[in-house]
Amino acid sequence: MVDRIIEWIKNYAEENKISSLVVGVSGGIDSALVSTLCAMTDIPTHCVLMPIHQDPEHTKRGYNHVRWLQKYHLKVNLHQFDLTDVYDKFVNVMDYANSELGYANSRSRLRMVTLYK
C-alpha cells in the first residue's frame, strides 16, 4: 500500500508539473505520516511548523520528526513560522465577533495561507 501511495503522489506531481511538496507538520501522527510519504517520493518536500499557542511539546515532536526525515531523505526542508503573534493580532481586531469556534477555524485558515507562501 505504501508503494502505491508514493507512486500516486509522484504521478500526480508529474501530471500537474509540481516540482515540490509542502506539508504542514503539527507534531501529530497524521502530518508525520503524510510528510514521511512525501519524503519517500524523492520530490523536494517542505515541512512547515506553524505553532499558534501550541503546546511546546507538540512543536518539539514535529521538529524532531522533520529532523529524523532529513537524516534519511536529502530533499526534506524544514521551515518554521510561529504564527502566535499574527493570530493574537487577528483576535484583537475581531474582538467584537468573539466566537471560540470561529477562532479555532481561523487558526487552520491562517496555517493554510502560510502553506501557500
Residue ranges of domains in the chain: 2-83
What are the pLDDT digits (tens) for 14-50?
A: 999 999 999 999 999 999 999 999 999 999 999 999 9
Radius of gyration for the alpha carbons in the chain, expressed in angstroms and rounded: 16
Question: Looking at domain 2-83, which CATH architecture does it have?
Answer: 3-Layer(aba) Sandwich (3.40)
- Residue 97's pLDDT is 66
What local confidence, expressed as pLDDT, does residue 96 receive? 63
Residue type at position 49: L
Q: Which residues pair with 45 in a beta bridge?
A: 21, 76
Q: What is the pLDDT at residue 95?
A: 72
pTM: 0.91
Q: What percent of the chain has pLDDT over 90?
A: 84
**By the 8 A CB rule, do 35 and 73 touch?**
no
Average pLDDT value for residue range 54-75: 97
